[in-house]
């Protein structure tokens, strides 16, 4: 692989520790206050800084002193206690704005003449994305498969303009010439960096609102240079052995900067129409050349290409480090020694051999494990291996379970552990001879020797108190306060449970479920029901002392549904009538969960609580909450408190639940603020789920809620689980993200784990890895099955190791990387200002791509300074990162509900790779021109307003929301066939379901919608929106390639911004 021909500035050759990637998880932060200087005025310089110098090892103000030993030495603290991943930036005195930046303070500079602007636009050629027109013939799979993407080096605003050279010879023939829109067009957002619209004094990238000088999406009135001190992740080279940031001084490295800091940052200038986010004023001057959106990488194209190449095929897992098909591709897995990608995916399938390489490229190393993932009907379910009394065979030293990576030696009498290299004796009962290749002759008969995933029956040693567990139980707890009775919710739940309880999860091949059921209703007090099968009528017991919660009956509270069916039916009929005349509007909440835990303790079982609750718990009781929603905190240092749960009662409850194996699923029906951050705290630590239905109405939301409830009750699940991730020597698991609880640094505890929950595990080096041996990971999950058996589920995966960065980039998986970044960012906002978290996301994007360009791009491509070069496996990475920064939790907007933001943050923490992929890049399906005869679903199109047609009908879904968008010129016959109405004008407002009509179009649309509802983990409520109607605004926020409604760059602007950051890193 030919390496780069030019020398980088010193700061680039040694990556800075800590920039959002390497040295550390989000553990407890440094003791000094972080980001203290953020809100304050930037320190002004009397003269312009002239670049950077390696200063003595002092740390920047507001930073902890730099650690003395390397972050990676083997004797670094035990995992868990890591320095911050999102470290404090050095003080804003770091450096002036580089001359390349176009988002300059324009206070003192005249805008370039209009002619110059047009030149600049025509110079911005975007090379087409063939897999590497830049290099000689190697095939796209070669490590040099890059994506050239042409962008001129944009000069800063008042500097001499470069002539727009001839079109680059690499331009591919399919590229359409830049089109010129009508002159009157009002551009929403900078037509391109460098035009007068690039916002008056915004010293920041796309998306800054007025007077914002921060990175994309900075909040208002944040002064300071763009990402002061963080414009590049490397202020100064890192001294050997030290891990802190240094404070740069004048000296070597960067070119002389224009005097950015001397004067005050000016506010928007009156002379410039349309300050930054899509200003109103019409652009003056000659017609603009518009950048062609088809020239930038398309997510839908990448998905389509992978489906064409690998869809419908059998993926065998016999090779180490092979990259699986994308999560969006339909394929069949044949397990031949590594776990299926349905269970385990990685951010890269080729780990860098050393910590230094990892630090240099900043690509996070992580694995996303979904231990209970659903397996399609045509794939083999997991085998259960039973070794009887002796239990599973394990390595004596590291306790790894028998798996395909154990090497049998000595004629089969001993085996060497692949994880720690310890040599173990083979137990007598397990002995078997080896064949001529050194493999056991029973290799194919034993799942644990030939497969990547399998289960072991656990012995008593793996059970609590050394006795077998009881089957789990489900308790349904219904809030019968005034709002839930009046809305009809209580009756709806009771009616549904009559049929739903027949569908409780059960073991394969068993007639009925072993899960027991119980019922509680509550408002300010709790009512328990005795539904013993011998009774003619259910009996109610009331507990009014909510401070000392206990369960008033043991026998008859948790019962087998089949035995007590008649009594339960009777109870479910009576509940809505019993409370029909209630006036009680106050509720308790914590005592309800406490009651569930006590019931499971008394029955000595694990299980799940299904709580149906409507409002903030204000009744006098433990866990009483008050309204702490304060929009004034948005975009301030204290915004993070909106996401933090109220400490105390709920924290202790989470621990009690996990200890008992009690998972909590919460169905919320709020009409106002209810402190989601606190109420959802227990579900989010116990492997539970939270569902939210704002302003619930049975007519419009009933079916949507019931679909969620059915999925939730029926899904496959394990209880009282504990997971351990073991790795071969040289690296280890250091940090874990998910709906989990951790008492120590290695054991991931989950009160329950279902088929939709994933745990993202960050990996770090503690020594060098070898290319020959590769890297091995084993995830072992101990759990109680739905029938009450204790089992171990094992998933193994082997990865390659390489000292070539090009191998790492070639083996990256964008969808997994984005899952990791979403979770790390969402955890970081609990401790840091949103602005800092967004800056780190931008920086890391630029850093990963800059490292690729510097170390892996072919010299011919690298010499094209205009090109944005992206690795083939990461060419759509920027669109996902930009979309992530526009999600509700990361946008500082007072228009968004605090509860919705907290809900989205918590939901994302447990998502698997396919869920985050769809959530950050929704599917937009054109339905107006499909062939009603064929089975095929029309190919999705790019998520941008430009792709919608006035006469079209489009379905958009992201796994949580679903919209049917109708263009204002939709043909009447289309409206007639779908809605049975003569025209669009007759469509009623707030329609939430389509009629089932007897015509091919209607049938096809309904079948597409139903297939999606069945496939996704959550139900989605269909929202029908007409073009240019007010509700269309809701739909627009899902068009992730466009500018965000609440702030956020368009995909094109974000690419320009990242490109500029990369060039800055490389100069």
Q: For 849-857, what is the mean pLDDT?
A: 93
List residues bridging with 346 in a β-sheet.
Answer: 367
Question: What is the overall mean pLDDT for the chain?
Answer: 80
pLDDT at 521 over 50: yes
List residues bridging with 956 in a β-sheet.
Answer: 924, 963
pLDDT tens-digit profile of 971-1025? 999 999 999 999 999 998 878 889 999 999 999 999 999 999 999 999 999 999 9
Q: Is 238 helix (H, G, I), strand (E, B) or coil?
A: coil
For the record, the structure tokens of 526 come out as 């709790």
**Worst-scoring range by mean pLDDT, 174-188, 413-427, 637-651, 691-705?**
174-188
Round to whole Å and give the CA distance between 930 and 925. Answer: 10
pLDDT of residue 682: 98
pLDDT band for position 513 (cuts 50, 70, 90): very high
What b/e readout covers 331-360, taking b as 16+ CB neighbours within 10 angstroms? bebebebbbbbbbbbbbbbbbbbbbebbbb
Question: Distance from CA of residue 221 to its chain's centroid?
Answer: 29
For the record, the structure tokens of 381 come out as 């379910």
Report the chain's C-alpha Rg in angstroms: 30
List residues bridging with 612 in a β-sheet.
Answer: 478, 667
Angle among Cα 819, 936, 304 to the nearest 5 degrees reads 40
- With residue 741 as reference, give the H or E element that holds it: strand 741-742
Q: For 68-90, what is the mean pLDDT?
A: 43
Round to whole Å and give the CA distance between 428 and 414. Answer: 10
Give pTM, 2 decimals: 0.77
Q: Is 719 helix (H, G, I), strand (E, B) or coil?
A: strand
Give the residue among 92, 127, 128 at the shortest CA–CA distance from 224: 92
pLDDT of residue 5: 31
Round to whole Å and give the CA distance between 883 and 887. Answer: 7
Q: Cβ(719)–Cβ(744) under 8 Å?
A: no
pLDDT of residue 857: 86
Give the residue among 209, 205, 206, 111 at the shortest CA–CA distance from 161: 111
Give the residue among 375, 369, 374 at the shortest CA–CA distance from 333: 375
Round to whole Å and give the CA distance between 796 and 452. Answer: 5
Round to whole Å and give the CA distance between 642 and 296. Answer: 37
Please list the helix, strand and coil fractions of the chain in percent, rounded to the nearest 5, in that order: 25, 15, 55
pLDDT at 23 over 80: no
- With residue 652 as reference, give the H or E element that holds it: helix 649-660
pLDDT at 916 over 60: yes
Q: For 646-664, what is the mean pLDDT?
A: 96
For the record, the structure tokens of 734 come out as 């250091």
Give the residue among 152, 151, 149 at the shortest CA–CA distance from 134: 149
Q: Cβ(1046)–Cβ(828) under 8 Å?
A: no
pLDDT band for position 242 (cuts 50, 70, 90): very low
pLDDT at 105 over 50: no
Q: Cβ(739)–Cβ(910) under 8 Å?
A: yes
- With residue 518 as reference, give the H or E element that holds it: strand 516-522
451: left (phi over 0), alpha (psi -120 to 50) or beta: beta
Q: Cβ(244)–Cβ(67) under 8 Å?
A: yes
pLDDT band for position 863 (cuts 50, 70, 90): confident
Question: Distance from CA of residue 150 to its chain's centroid?
Answer: 30
pLDDT of residue 290: 63
The crossing angle, in degrees rounded to 10, of helices 1051-1066 and 877-885 is 110
pLDDT at 41 over 90: no
pLDDT band for position 555 (cuts 50, 70, 90): very high
Q: Cβ(786)–Cβ(507) under 8 Å?
A: yes
pLDDT of residue 989: 82
Q: Cβ(587)–Cβ(676) under 8 Å?
A: no
pLDDT tens-digit profile of 320-356? 999 999 999 999 999 999 999 999 999 999 999 999 9
Other CB atoms within 10 A of residue 671 CB:
12
Give the residue among 351, 455, 333 at the shortest CA–CA distance from 403: 455
pLDDT band for position 921 (cuts 50, 70, 90): very high
pLDDT of residue 764: 97
pLDDT of residue 554: 83
pLDDT of residue 137: 38
pLDDT band for position 547 (cuts 50, 70, 90): very high
Residues 6+ apart with CB under 8 A from 659: none
pLDDT at 755 over 70: yes
Other CB atoms within 10 A of residue 98 CB:
22
Round to whole Å and give the CA distance between 938 and 930. Answer: 6
DSSP for 129-160, please give it.
--S-TTSSS--TTSTT-EE--B---PPPTTSP
pLDDT of residue 149: 53
Q: Sheet containing 423-425: give its strands across.
A: 407-409, 414-416, 423-425
Residue with tokens 């072992």: 780
């Amino acid at each position: 692989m030919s390496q780069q021909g030019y020398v980088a500035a010193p700061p680039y050759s040694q990556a800075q520790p800590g920039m959002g990637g390497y040295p550390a998880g989000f553990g407890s932060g440094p003791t000094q206050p972080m980001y203290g200087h953020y809100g304050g005025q930037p320190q002004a310089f009397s003269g312009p800084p002239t670049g950077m110098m390696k200063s003595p090892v002092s740390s920047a103000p507001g930073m902890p002193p730099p650690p003395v030993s390397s972050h990676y030495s083997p004797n670094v603290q035990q995992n868990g206690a890591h320095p911050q991943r999102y470290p404090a930036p050095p003080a804003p005195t770091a450096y002036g704005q580089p001359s390349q930046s176009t988002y300059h303070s324009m206070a003192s500079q005249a805008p370039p003449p209009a002619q110059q602007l047009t030149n600049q636009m025509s110079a911005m050629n975007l090379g087409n994305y063939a897999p590497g027109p830049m290099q000689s013939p190697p095939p796209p799979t070669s490590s040099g498969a890059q994506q050239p993407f042409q962008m001129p080096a944009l000069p800063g605003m008042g500097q001499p303009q470069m002539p727009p050279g001839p079109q680059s010879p690499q331009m591919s023939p399919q590229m359409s010439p830049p089109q010129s829109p009508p002159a009157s067009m009002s551009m929403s957002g900078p037509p391109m960096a460098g035009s007068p619209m690039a916002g008056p004094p915004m010293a920041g990238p796309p998306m800054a609102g007025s007077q914002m000088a921060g990175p994309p999406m900075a909040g208002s009135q944040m002064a300071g240079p763009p990402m002061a001190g963080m414009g590049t992740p490397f202020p100064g080279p890192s001294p050997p052995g030290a891990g802190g940031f240094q404070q740069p001084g004048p000296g070597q490295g960067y070119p002389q900067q224009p005097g950015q800091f001397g004067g005050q940052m000016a506010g928007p200038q009156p002379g410039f129409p349309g300050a930054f986010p899509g200003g109103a004023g019409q652009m003056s001057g000659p017609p603009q050349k518009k950048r062609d959106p088809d020239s930038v990488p398309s997510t839908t194209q990448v998905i389509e290409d992978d489906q064409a190449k690998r869809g419908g095929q059998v993926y065998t897992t016999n090779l180490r480090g092979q990259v699986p098909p994308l999560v969006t591709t339909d394929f069949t897995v044949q397990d031949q020694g590594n776990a299926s990608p349905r269970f385990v995916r990685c951010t890269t399938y080729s780990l860098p051999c050393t910590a230094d390489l990892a630090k240099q490229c900043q690509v996070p190393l992580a694995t996303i494990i979904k231990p209970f993932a659903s397996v399609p009907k045509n794939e083999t379910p997991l085998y259960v291996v039973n070794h009887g009394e002796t239990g599973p065979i394990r390595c004596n030293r590291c306790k790894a379970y028998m798996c395909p990576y154990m090497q049998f030696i000595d004629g089969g009498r001993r085996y060497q552990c692949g994880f720690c290299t310890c040599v173990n004796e083979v137990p007598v009962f397990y002995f078997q001879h080896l064949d001529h290749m050194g493999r056991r002759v029973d290799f194919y008969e034993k799942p644990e020797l030939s497969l990547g995933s399998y289960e072991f029956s656990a012995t008593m040693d793996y059970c609590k108190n050394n006795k077998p567990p009881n089957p789990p139980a489900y308790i349904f707890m219904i809030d019968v306060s005034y709002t839930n009775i009046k809305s009809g919710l209580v009756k709806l739940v009771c009616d549904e449970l009559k049929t739903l309880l027949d569908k409780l999860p059960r073991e394969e091949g068993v007639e009925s479920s072993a899960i027991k059921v119980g019922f509680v209703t509550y408002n300010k007090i709790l009512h328990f029901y005795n539904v013993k099968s011998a009774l003619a009528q259910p009996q109610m017991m009331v507990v009014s002392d909510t401070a000392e919660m206990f369960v008033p009956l043991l026998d008859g509270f948790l019962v087998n549904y089949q035995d007590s069916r008649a009594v339960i039916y009777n109870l479910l009929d009576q509940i809505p009538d019993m409370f029909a005349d209630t006036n009680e509007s106050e509720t308790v909440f914590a005592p309800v969960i406490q009651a569930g835990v006590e019931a499971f303790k008394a029955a000595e079982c694990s299980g799940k609580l299904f709580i149906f609750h409507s409002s903030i718990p204000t009744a006098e009781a433990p866990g009483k909450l008050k309204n702490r929603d304060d929009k004034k905190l948005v975009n301030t240092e204290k915004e993070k408190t909106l996401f933090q749960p109220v400490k105390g009662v709920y924290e202790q409850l989470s621990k009690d639940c996990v200890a008992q194996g009690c998972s909590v699923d919460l169905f919320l029906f709020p009409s106002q603020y209810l402190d989601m951050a606190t109420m959802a705290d227990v579900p989010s630590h116990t492997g539970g789920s939270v569902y939210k239905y704002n302003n619930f109405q049975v007519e419009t939301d009933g079916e949507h809620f019931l679909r969620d409830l059915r999925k939730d009750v029926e899904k496959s699940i394990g209880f009282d689980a504990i997971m351990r991730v073991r790795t071969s020597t040289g690296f280890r698991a250091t940090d874990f993200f998910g709906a989990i609880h951790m008492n120590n640094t290695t054991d991931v505890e989950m009160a329950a784990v279902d088929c939709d929950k994933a745990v993202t595990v960050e990996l770090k080096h503690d020594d060098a890895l070898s290319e020959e041996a590769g890297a091995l990971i084993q995830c072992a999950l101990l759990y109680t099955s739905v029938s009450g058996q204790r089992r171990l589920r094992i998933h193994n995966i082997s990865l390659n190791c390489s000292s070539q960065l090009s191998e790492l980039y070639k083996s990256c998986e964008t969808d997994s990387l984005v899952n990791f970044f979403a979770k790390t960012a969402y955890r970081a906002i609990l401790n840091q200002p949103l602005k800092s978290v967004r800056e780190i996301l931008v920086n890391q994007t630029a850093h990963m791509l800059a490292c690729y360009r510097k170390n892996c791009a072919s010299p011919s491509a690298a010499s094209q300074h205009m090109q944005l070069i992206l690795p083939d496996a990461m060419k759509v990475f920027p669109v996902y990162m930009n979309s992530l920064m526009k999600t509700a939790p990361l946008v500082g907007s007072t228009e968004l509900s605090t509860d919705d933001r907290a809900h989205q943050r918590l939901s994302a923490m447990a998502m698997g790779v396919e869920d985050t992929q769809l959530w950050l890049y929704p599917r937009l399906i054109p339905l107006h021109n499909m062939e009603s005869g064929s089975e095929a679903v029309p190919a999705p199109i790019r998520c941008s307003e430009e792709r919608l047609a006035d006469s079209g009908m489009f379905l958009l879904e992201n796994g949580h929301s679903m919209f049917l968008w109708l263009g204002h010129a939709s043909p009447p016959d289309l409206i007639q066939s779908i809605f049975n109405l003569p025209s669009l004008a007759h469509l009623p407002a707030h329609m939430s379901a389509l009629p089932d009509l007897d015509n091919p179009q209607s049938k096809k649309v309904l079948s597409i919608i139903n297939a999606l509802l069945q496939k996704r983990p959550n139900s989605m409520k269909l929202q029908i929106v007409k073009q240019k109607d007010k509700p269309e605004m809701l739909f627009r926020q899902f068009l992730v390639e466009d500018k965000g409604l609440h702030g956020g760059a368009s995909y094109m602007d974000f690419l320009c911004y990242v490109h500029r950051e990369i060039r800055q890193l490389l100069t």
